Amino acid sequence: MAIVPIALREARLRREIRAHFRSLGFTKGLDGTLLPPCLDKDGYRQIHEHQRQERLISERRFLEDRSAPLLEHFANGRDIDVGRVAIRMIPIAHTTWQSDLFRLATLLWSVPVSMGFGRRLRYLIWDDYHDKLVGLLALGDPVFNLRARDAHIGWSVTDRETRLVHLLDGYVVGAMPPYNRILGGKLVACLMRTREVADEFRKRYGSSEGIISGAERNAHLVAVTTTSALGRSSLYNRLRLEGVSYLESIGYTGGFGHFHFPQALFDDMRSYLRYRKDMYAANHRFGHGPNWKFRAIRRTLALLGLNPDLLKHGFSREVFIGRLADNALEVLKGTRKRPKYTSLRPAAEVAELALRRWVRPRAARDLSYREHTRAQLLRQINGIVEPRPRVRKRRRG
């Protein structure tokens, strides 16, 4: 096999990167900065479409083999008696039907879902009365650098290294059709702040060893963070139940990341780093430091003489924090050691409050959820968008 000279390999990779950004519709501003094609939710989905198609291709065999029986766990709108919905959180273990159902359901997301890394808590949000899937909740290790979070808490770099162990990030939070049409997403988001989540975290990770530091950690989950898909969030805003705030907006991300680099392109970049025997080619195991993929891309761009600002995609997201412990900020700042959970409720109580506050009133006002059938789901996964049914409102009087 002929050996490709390094200069030729670099020229090919530069062309591939530039062609990819042109295909996404990015342009250069007068000052040389990268300009996204459209800063709205449709633009955000469009940027992710390549990754989503890669994911669907990789999941084709799974869909063929497992989708039919798993679809039975999704509800038809006409079968839902909203007044009888009864919510339960089901923890997900690996290699179970619940794990397969989570895998299938995440394919409905227009933005591809990460598998998470490090510590993870995953749940099916279940309607016991109808025996159907309401939504998904997954919490995982937070990113190391998040300016809005760190400023809100008042962390130094040392503080963050020491006490990030007390946080998780909601990386999958949402409701399935037809529950999503009656504000089921708000219900799912509130379940991040429940007794079950705090207890499960303590049981699984309370005395675990830090992977990066190697130090024994006495960890308590005192707060969770999550971010909107794009810009200001209608799902997470005003999440209050009986005077208790379940999520609080604390700022916005800076619009940096690597989601606009699809896996195929990243694999070519990593192959180039291996060719150069660069440390970032294989430095990918969790524990080798925060956000290896981001740094591997930045390293590749620098070696190719390309602007590292290609990592600035420009899509800013709203950042939220939910305090499980009453004294969460004190624990995170290090001024208190033991958390207090006096205002934390069990999931069943939180769900009932959310049903009363959002779900039942919306279902009474908007009957369009009844038009949904689970037969639509595979078409939705495969990107065939059907027109939303006309809103049917219940007449007064």
Q: In the chain, where are the structural domains located? A: 1-35+260-313, 36-255+314-381
Provide the residue-wise pLDDT of the chain in tens; the chain has 397 residues: 455 688 899 999 999 999 988 887 877 776 666 677 776 666 666 777 777 787 888 899 999 999 999 999 999 999 999 999 999 999 999 889 999 999 999 998 877 777 656 899 999 999 999 999 999 999 999 988 899 999 999 999 999 999 999 999 999 999 999 999 999 999 999 999 999 999 999 999 987 655 444 555 789 999 999 998 766 778 898 899 999 999 999 999 877 777 788 888 999 999 999 999 988 887 655 444 447 788 899 999 999 998 887 887 767 889 999 999 999 999 999 999 999 999 999 999 999 999 999 999 999 999 999 999 998 998 888 764 344 444 444 444 3
Distance CA 46, CA 52 (A): 10
Task: Indicate yes or no: pTM above 0.75.
Answer: yes
For residues 48 and 44, give the distance between their C-alpha atoms in angstroms, rounded to a whole number: 7
Closest of 105, 258, 127, 81 to residue 173, by C-alpha: 105
The set of long-range contacts for 201-208, using a CB threshold of 8 Å and a minimum separation of 24, is 201/119, 201/121, 201/168, 204/119, 204/121, 205/119, 208/119
Residues composing the chain: 397
DSSP letter string, 48-60: HHHHHHHHHHHTH
Cis peptide, bond prior to residue 178, ω within 30 of zero? yes
